[in-house]
Structure 1
Amino acid sequence: MTSPAELLPATRRALLHRIAVAQRDGRAPSLVAAVARDGELVWTGSRSSVEGHGPDADVQYRIGSITKTFTAVLILRLRDEGLLDLGDPLEKHLPGTGAGEVTVAELLAHTSGLAAETPGEWWERSSAALRPTLAEVLGEQPFRHPVGRRHHYSNPGYTLLGSLVAAVRGVPWEEALRREVLEPLGLTRTSCAPQAPHAGGWAVHPYADVLLPEPSEDLGLMAPAGQLWSTARDLASFAAFLTTGDERVLSAESVREMRTPAAPVVPGDWEASYGLGTQVLRRDGRTLVGHTGSLPGFVAGLWLSEEDGLAAVTLVNCTSGVPAPTVAADLLRIVAAAEPRIPAPWRPLAEVDTATLELAGPWYWGTQVVALRLSADGGVDLGPAAGGGRRSRFRPNGDGTWTGIDGYYAGEVLQAVRRPDGSLSHLDLGSFVFTREPYGAGAPVPGGVDPEGWRGVPR
């Protein structure tokens, strides 16, 4: 009998088939992949061009820009500790860069307008000694677009964020990462320098089955944009953290903020966006959050689907050929389709506040009927009683009010207004008045209500 977390044999075979095809068609020296369900690793697989030497989930690969998500976690920690605000200009904490007008949030979401790459030689294949200071990283003309106007992926932008972490913490970026993220989450096989066993990076000739070793440069100041080495197992654990949070590192609310789109969509690609250090896309009818990564010799992909409780990772040690992010998304889709998530059983609330219970039921915004429902987590949901329309979840503030956490009313405050005698009058939500009856008589409806009330039309 299988455990609830164990995948069915047919699902495991479908996963193996997908990575086998990817490794063969992409002509990759090796490929390793993993799938986690509800935070637990449930499958790993690998393929290799060397007979009998397939990697396992603890072999390190370089993960490239997935490093950016780790850097973003460090920035959100500084914000949560009150050491900076996402709306702060960079100059406030890291003066003299020449790009100080951009905000922390704009750097996180790649809306700073900064160039995609550094000036001079290709930074991924050249010595960091060519860029010893931020001035060399940014160049004389660091901007390519007006600040805050569009999404333009910027590797130098994440160098600035790493330098910001170092400036505020007073320790190097890599030390802050190890101490504040890697060690608390138990990511013992994630590091700035490779640790055995690790894969070597290779280039595969596009028209011949021959290989060329790729250099493995220390990225220096560019490290926060792409330095890390990691394993399929560690990245599956990191994906679980990005789903639920961990109070030792970041709260569930803060990782939810990271997963929320924060940048305009790219013209021509309305299914993709960027959060705070995460890529967000719609694929196969579900929302995927994670990041892609590549450096010479390596490609990587990590995706999670909160609604399915799934995460998938693919790591490959060749410069091109295998679309690792696409393969990771396919692995997630295979499991979601073959073994859809079993919903948790419905259970009644353990306790309920009678004043909150009084709010449940239908309300009217003008003539539109909405329903307020109490949720098991102590919050409330407000949305159309039937059909489509504005819908939001609200978390309690502890003072009888609630703040929207998603949808149209995200960030808005919901308050129940009572009459002097304590009876319930109406709901106030961002200047909107919700009443128990359509344009309820005596309620403070903006513009007032005709005193003659509802009427028919004479014939």
Structure 2
Amino acid sequence: MENHPPARYERAVRKAQADGRIPALAVALHRADREPWVLTVGDSGNPEHPLGPDTRFRIGSITKTFTAVLVLQARDDGLLDLDDPIAQHLSVPAHGDATIRRLLSHTAGFQREPYGDIWDTLQAPGDEEVLAQLDRAERVLPNGRRYHYSNLGFAVLGQLVAKLRGGSWAEVVSERVITPLGLGATTLDAPPQAAVGYVVDEFSDAARPEPQTRMGGAAPAAQLWSTAEDMATWGAFLADPATADPRGRVLAAATLDEMRFPATVTNEALWLAGFGLGLIIEPQDRFVTHVGHDGAMPGFLASAYGRRGGPGLPAGLGCGVLGSSGTARVTNELVHELLGLAVELDPAGIEPWRIAPPAPQPYRSILGPWFSEGTPFVFSWHDGALRARLAESAADVPPAIFEPVPGQPDVLRTVSGREAGELLRLTRDEAGVVVRMHWATYRVTRVQEGFDGGAASDGGFDA
């Protein structure tokens, strides 16, 4: 019996809207080989603009991922170093030793919110106040001690990039991220087609509209509005920038690789999620992660994630889920369900294997089995690169991949996988055949040897 992915997607969305009692729910799936799939269920609460694909929702803390991208852009442009203390770039009355890297990964120990009870007053401090009041904000944990989520930290990062770029944060994020990626429905403030956000009563089917709170100087942490389709595109960009932004107009793919590497876990005992540089990393199946962020504001919950790794993964797979209830946690669960369904029900096509050119002559004598530390490895040439893997590794374990070091014909750099960053040095005999290698300084030989250089097969004992 044939699966019908859109029907399965729609059932999952409709079930989440009903079970979660979400007044309006908008969902989109983005992938490079299909038109976007978009579905809305419910009522916008806005009589002049019924619910549809262009309905706007608050995306809350997904905004932080935009700010994080701006910070890494500034790093790549030479305007800052991630290990700079913020006092090197901003005039602050306290906590100036907090580094940019620590603020991005929520490990600087800053209290969660800017000074004052802003969720009681619904009055956020302005741009200058956020920084001027840092001496009234606590460092609730020692610097680098552990993960502690902080809107204040990202408010400071937003003011940092605004100063470095010579404009407001809103101007900079629009010019340098939103416009280049074509996210035309992502805006600072609510447009006329905005959905109404609600708090839904726990014990009845009543719902109360929530106020539209402006975040002021904390806008870089939570201010933006958007559509599900824009957020699915954003999730695809965070996970697969080489597909979503092939010219690197917004950020180099290698920089997003850096942002996605976990800097901390959110719970020391349950390693269910981690934080990179402004991004949440949620492990799924074996070697599969979802990368993005969730958001919450009065009356709204949102999620934007992209999927990485695993068999059947389509290029540029991202999902956006936006809901108009501030309490329906199913909103944040649905995004992961849909990304999984997209691969299960509609996997990427299987490309036929084709004959390719052989390995370059200088590397052909490397191919085949070797031993290091007594353990068997296999070196091979695929997709235009030298690779190595443990002989016993499962097929889905990513191999080590090497690239030649310019100007050193017999030295290669490990660019990914096992021993990433380390050198592979080749030793040849008089005929030019590679007879020995050193990988991360460990000897690599054709026969199994002990660390004294003796063959394991010799035994080492007299008869």
TM-score over 0.5 for the pair:
yes
2:269 equivalent in structure 1: 268
Pairing 1:382–2:388 present: yes
Instruction: Tell me how far apart the structure 2 counterparts of residues 216 and 124 of structure 1 sit (CA, whole Å).
Output: 14
User: Which sits farther off after the overlay, 251-260 or 342-351?
Assistant: 342-351
> Which of residues 169, 193, 200 in structure 1 aligns to 2:196?
200
Q: Is the 8 A contact 1:79 1:85 kept in 2?
A: yes
Mapping of 1:49-60 within 5 angstroms? 49=43, 55-60=51-56
> Which of residues 244, 257, 273 in structure 1 aligns to 2:240?
244
Pairing 1:151–2:152 present: no
Mapping of 1:85-234 within 5 angstroms? 85-123=81-119, 126-129=122-125, 132-135=128-131, 138-234=134-230
2:8 equivalent in structure 1: 14
Give 3-state SS (helix, strand or coil) of 2:29's partner: strand
Which letter maps to 1:435? T
1:288 equivalent in structure 2: 290
RMSD value over aligned CA atoms? 2.9
Pairing 1:304–2:292 present: no
2:74 equivalent in structure 1: 78
Instruction: Tell me how far apart the structure 1 counterparts of residues 95 and 165 of structure 2 sit (CA, whole Å).
Output: 21
Q: Is the 8 A contact 1:64 1:294 kept in 2?
A: yes
Call closer, same or farther: CA 1:345–1:250 in 2, change over 3 Å: farther
> Which of residues 287, 306, 330 in structure 2 aligns to 1:323?
330
Task: Report the CA distance between 1:140 and its aligned residue.
Answer: 2.7
Mapping of 1:304-383 within 5 angstroms? 304-307=306-309, 308-309=313-314, 310-349=317-356, 352-376=359-383, 378-383=384-389
Which letter maps to 1:380? L
Which letter maps to 1:14? R
Task: Report the CA distance between 1:453 and its aligned residue.
Answer: 8.4
Instruction: Tell me how far apart the structure 2 counterparts of residues 68 and 50 of structure 1 sit (CA, whole Å).
Output: 25
Structure 1 gaps of 5+ residues are: 1-7, 440-444
Which letter maps to 1:33? V
Task: Report the CA distance between 1:228 and its aligned residue.
Answer: 0.8
> What TM-score, normalized by structure 1, do the two folds share?
0.87
Pairing 1:438–2:425 present: no
Which letter maps to 1:96? V
Instruction: Tell me how far apart the structure 2 counterparts of residues 265 and 436 of structure 1 sit (CA, whole Å).
Output: 44
Q: Is the 8 A contact 1:379 1:393 kept in 2?
A: no
Give 3-state SS (helix, strand or coil) of 2:110's partner: coil
Q: Is the 8 A contact 1:59 1:196 kept in 2?
A: no
**Per-residue CA shift, 1:240-285, capped at 9, x if unaligned?**
2223323111122111222221213512321211111111112355
Call closer, same or farther: CA 1:166–1:49 in 2, change over 3 Å: closer
Call closer, same or farther: CA 1:452–1:16 in 2, change over 3 Å: closer
Q: Is the 8 A contact 2:436 2:444 kept in 1?
A: yes
Give 3-state SS (helix, strand or coil) of 1:208's partner: coil
User: Which sits farther off after the overlay, 425-434 or 389-398?
Assistant: 389-398
**Per-residue CA shift, 1:324-350, capped at 9, x if unaligned?**
120111112222222233333333445
Which letter maps to 2:301? V
Instruction: Tell me how far apart the structure 2 counterparts of residues 68 and 27 of structure 1 sit (CA, whole Å).
Output: 27
Give 3-state SS (helix, strand or coil) of 1:133's partner: helix
**Per-residue CA shift, 1:382-427, capped at 9, x if unaligned?**
2201236996533525515444444441332333344687542433
Instruction: Tell me how far apart the structure 1 counterparts of residues 456 and 363 of structure 2 sit (CA, whole Å).
Output: 33
Q: Is the 8 A contact 2:131 2:156 kept in 1?
A: no
**Per-residue CA shift, 1:180-236, capped at 9, x if unaligned?**
111111111111112232212222222222222211122111111111111111112
Which letter maps to 2:84? D
Instruction: Tell me how far apart the structure 1 counterparts of residues 456 and 341 of structure 2 sit (CA, whole Å).
Output: 61
Which letter maps to 1:116? R
Task: Report the CA distance between 1:22 and its aligned residue.
Answer: 1.5
Instruction: Tell me how far apart the structure 2 counterparts of residues 287 and 144 of structure 1 sit (CA, whole Å).
Output: 30
Instruction: Tell me how far apart the structure 2 counterparts of residues 95 and 382 of structure 1 sit (CA, whole Å).
Output: 50
Instruction: Tell me how far apart the structure 1 counterparts of residues 88 and 343 of structure 2 sit (CA, whole Å).
Output: 45
Structure 2 gaps of 5+ residues are: none
Call closer, same or farther: CA 1:294–1:134 in 2, change over 3 Å: same
Give 3-state SS (helix, strand or coil) of 1:330's partner: helix
Q: Percent identity?
A: 32
Call closer, same or farther: CA 1:187–1:266 in 2, change over 3 Å: same
Call closer, same or farther: CA 1:103–1:431 in 2, change over 3 Å: farther
Which letter maps to 2:308? E
1:65 equivalent in structure 2: 61
